[in-house]
Amino acid sequence: MSEQILKMVNITKRFAGIVALDQVHFSCNRGEVHVLAGENGAGKSTILKILSGIYKADEGEIYFNDKKATIKNPEQAQKLGIAMVFQELTLIGELTVSENIYLSIEPKNKLGLIDQKAVNKQIQTAMDKYGIYLEPDEIVNNLPIAKQQLAEILKILVRDPDLIILDEPTSALARKEVDQLFQIIRNLTANGKTIIFISHRLEEVFAIGDRVTVFKDGRFVDTCNICDINEDDLIRMMVGRSLQNIFPHKNRKIDNEIIFEVRLLLDHDKKVNDVSFNVHRGEILCVAGLQGHGQSELLNAISGLHPLKSGEVIISGKKISVKNSGQAIENGIALVPADRKSQGLMLELAIQHNLSISSLGKRLKGLFIDSKAESIFCSSIVEQLAIKIGKVTNPANSLSGGNQQKVVLGKELATNPKVILFDEPTRGIDVEAKREFYNIMDSLASQGVAVIMNSSDLMEVIGMADRVAVMYEGRISGILQKEEISEEAIMRYAMGITEKYFEAGETA
């Protein structure tokens, strides 16, 4: 029988009268990967923040390594051997990788100064041990987001905790980097470390997990061995419906009318290199490819955020100018960006201000905002998108990830777009919120809005796309029609293997 390292019993947590956790229990065995699953708002983050010392439970007990534990703050959690890698990075961008990793635990020499030689030796030992290789002297802000994520993980690992919480650790990683992380996780569990893993990507849950515990509405649902369930079982536990009902049925009428087109788009650094495609009325076009091949830059260029050197953008047969985001909005182009926190929201401002910022001109009375019209507008968006909020005057950072993403979407829909671009729209949101987004996209396409989505989730691409434009090194390497769409076909084009080349290789 596996040795139990963690046991949480009858944990209850309330916030201003709202019960976030209701008498839940949760336990982990030493050396396992234990997945914690559930919709946004199910209580996952709350119980992990209690475990890591950020919150204090109102009721319940925690046992760690067979001893009753009192965890009042993160420092106590770390001393016990509990560490958490947050979805939102905690690195200091102006410092180097090594300075971030050893911040507050730097080895000192006899004079009390930082022993840089010892730092370099220890960080090299840690990188060799865990298979994470970074330039220790590189400034964090100069690193791509994927390497920043690996630095965040290495920062935790050098402290040698017994239990490691990974909250959406793969959300910014490419497939190769995900494989690397999974190998690190396997090495850790083989050496007796315990991993609590949160991911909204179902394929990852089944690829890396040993057991899964499901929460729903702040209550414990069940704990199962991963090998004993399938994706449908897990989704039913989480949201009460099966996988087949997550994606909308593709019964939209797609006609020959081209409502949006780009021709030979080229940016200054060739991250977008002579890209051409079109979207028909009623159609959802997905942009796919391996991370870093120009998908986000393409959507940013169309929306005026990423400067273009040349090319044409055409809506309903009319050529338009998109030299900046203001011009794009005026011409009916809206973007739901990949990073809602840094690109889509003003987190400290009220929900109502975030919802209305892109369409303020529609509710002006003279030089001033019509507060009554503003209130009616915000209420209608909240109701239309089923955004779960307390008050519209609450800050945007008070919302769960899925509801924050709905606010970003509501802000863009308020501009009445003719073209809407979704860049990784379901990153870091739960299955039910994903289903809602898919239905909204489907509805927009049915209404004649040109819907273009970039996603690194191939299941999502296959489930939503009428056509797929695959990018490789800034170019479109192939466009797949509905009957041609498959994971294998997408990956061939994503690796630069055109059909002609592939067939030649097969017969060689």
Asked if residue 222 and residue 285 are part of one domain, the reply reads: no
Q: What is the pLDDT of residue 106?
A: 67
Using the structure block, give the residue that is written with the tokens 């703050």: 73
- Does the pLDDT at position 502 exceed 70? no
In a domain, 504, yes or no: yes
Please answer whether residues 315 and 259 qualify as being in contact, where contact means their C-beta atoms are separated by less than 8 angstroms: yes
Cα torsion for 408, 413, 419, 421, to the nearest 10°? 10
In a domain, 187, yes or no: yes
Asked if residue 355 and residue 214 are part of one domain, the reply reads: no
Left, alpha or beta for 179 (phi > 0: left; psi -120 to 50: alpha)? alpha
Complete DSSP assignment for 244-276: GGTSPP------S-EEEEEEEEEETTSSSEEEE
Q: Which of 195, 221, 242 is the last residue of a domain?
A: 242
- Does the pLDDT at position 110 exceed 80? no
Q: What is the pLDDT of residue 1?
A: 47
Asked if residue 352 and residue 279 are part of one domain, the reply reads: no
Map residue 411 onto helix, strand or coil. helix
In a domain, 209, yes or no: yes
| Cα gap 280→440, rounded to integer Å | 18
- Does the pLDDT at position 498 exceed 80? no
Give the HSE-up count for residue 302: Cα atoms under 13 Å, Cβ half-sphere.
35
pLDDT digits (tens, 9 = 90+) for 155-195: 888 888 999 999 888 876 777 778 888 998 998 898 889 99
Integer angstrom CA distances of residue 486 from 290, 460, 483: 15, 11, 9
- Rounded average pLDDT over 234-250: 75
Give the HSE-up count for residue 373: Cα atoms under 13 Å, Cβ half-sphere.
11
- Does the pLDDT at position 282 exceed 70? yes
Taken as a whole, the chain contains a residue count of 508
| 151-155, 203-207, 472-476: range with lowest mean pLDDT | 151-155
Asked if residue 377 and residue 262 are part of one domain, the reply reads: no
Asked if residue 121 and residue 29 are part of one domain, the reply reads: yes
Please answer whether residues 304 and 326 qualify as being in contact, where contact means their C-beta atoms are separated by less than 8 angstroms: yes
Using the structure block, give the residue that is written with the tokens 């919302």: 399
Asked if residue 472 and residue 388 are part of one domain, the reply reads: no
Asked if residue 252 and residue 213 are part of one domain, the reply reads: no
| Cα gap 445→452, rounded to integer Å | 10
Asked if residue 251 and residue 237 are part of one domain, the reply reads: no
Burial 256-272 (b: 16+ CB within 10 A, else e): eebbbbbeebbbeeebb
In a domain, 340, yes or no: no
In a domain, 337, yes or no: no
Q: Which residues contact 341 (CB under 8 A, 6 or more apart)?
A: 88, 347, 404
Q: ∠ at Cα 431 (283, 334), nearest 5°?
A: 40
Q: 257 is in which domain, residue-wise?
A: 246-332+417-508
Map residue 317 onto helix, strand or coil. coil
Burial 328-358 (b: 16+ CB within 10 A, else e): bbebbbbbbbbbbbeebbeeeebbbbbbbeb
Average pLDDT taken over every residue of the chain: 86
Q: What is the pLDDT of residue 73?
A: 92
How many Cβ atoms from other residues are within 10 Å of residue 222's Cβ? 13
Asked if residue 27 and residue 166 are part of one domain, the reply reads: yes
- Rounded average pLDDT over 35-56: 88
In a domain, 117, yes or no: yes
Smallest CA-to-CA distance from 272 within 300, 306, 290, 298 is with 298
Please answer whether residues 280 and 254 qualify as being in contact, where contact means their C-beta atoms are separated by less than 8 angstroms: yes
Asked if residue 160 and residue 95 are part of one domain, the reply reads: yes
pLDDT digits (tens, 9 = 90+) for 291-311: 778 999 999 999 998 889 999
Asked if residue 167 and residue 225 are part of one domain, the reply reads: yes
2: DSSP letter: P
Integer angstrom CA distances of residue 59 from 10, 13, 23, 73, 74: 7, 7, 8, 16, 19
Q: How confident is the model at residue 500 (pLDDT cuts 50, 70, 90)?
A: very low
Asked if residue 255 and residue 235 are part of one domain, the reply reads: no
Share of the chain above pLDDT 90, in %: 41
Integer angstrom CA distances of residue 169 from 34, 213, 258, 503: 14, 18, 39, 37
Q: Provide the number of structural domains found in the chain.
A: 3
Map residue 481 onto helix, strand or coil. coil
Please answer whether residues 68 and 122 qualify as being in contact, where contact means their C-beta atoms are separated by less than 8 angstroms: no
pLDDT digits (tens, 9 = 90+) for 433-449: 888 899 999 999 999 99
CATH code, domain carrying 203:
3.40.50.300
Please answer whether residues 20 and 218 qualify as being in contact, where contact means their C-beta atoms are separated by less than 8 angstroms: yes
**In what order do the strands lie in the sheet containing 67-69?**
18-29, 4-15, 59-64, 67-69
Q: Which of 363, 397, 416 is the last residue of a domain?
A: 416
Sign of CA dihedral 58, 59, 64, 68: positive
In a domain, 339, yes or no: no
Q: Which of 188, 211, 242 is the last residue of a domain?
A: 242
In a domain, 159, yes or no: yes
Smallest CA-to-CA distance from 209 within 166, 241, 243 is with 166
Please answer whether residues 17 and 38 qualify as being in contact, where contact means their C-beta atoms are separated by less than 8 angstroms: no
